[in-house]
Amino acid sequence: MEISITRNIPTTPEKIYTHWLSSDGHTNMTGGVATGSAKVGDNFTAWDGYITGKNLILEPFERIVQSWRTSQFKEGEVDSQIEVLLEKVKGGTSLTLHHTKVPESGEHYRKGWDEHYFEPMISYFSSLK
């Protein structure tokens, strides 16, 4: 299963990129405790360890590709993958998320991306203006 979502976030691609990959930044923009790194091959966590993964491809300020799984994945299910594409637009950034290799039981992640990522990010970055 695949999920694709595009949202406009009221900040620059540079700020989203650096926040996504840093422990404090990711924690601040989502509200869930995270650990992060801006190095390919490094592991990360998000939402108090509910999400784990690894940085696969990093193209500064444009693209982030990570392996991704939650504690709800069943043993034997392969990691899913997220690709975050950032494009500067009037008023901020167009963020497109492609979430692939999602387990068939994972339709609820579509709602989770909005509730636990995009809505908090829009609120957080709006408050910094």
Residue 49: which region, alpha, beta or left (left: phi > 0; alpha: psi -120 to 50)? left
Sign of CA dihedral 77, 36, 5, 84: negative
> Helix, strand, coil: what percent of the chain each, to 5?
30, 35, 35
Nearest to 5 by CA among 78, 124, 94: 94
In order of their start, the domains of the chain are 3-127 (3.30.530.20)
Task: Kindly give the confidence (pLDDT) of every residue in the chain, 129 residues in length, as a single tens digit, with 9 standing for 90 and above.
Answer: 999 999 999 999 999 999 999 999 999 999 999 999 999 999 999 999 999 999 999 999 999 999 999 999 998 999 999 999 999 999 999 999 999 999 988 889 999 999 999 999 999 999 997
Q: What is the pLDDT of residue 69?
A: 96
In terms of residues, how long is the chain?
129
Helix, strand or coil, per DSSP, at residue 27 = helix
Ordered strands of the 80-89 beta sheet: 3-9, 92-100, 80-89, 63-70, 51-59, 43-46
Predicted pLDDT of residue 105: 84
pLDDT at 57: 98
Global pTM reads 0.95
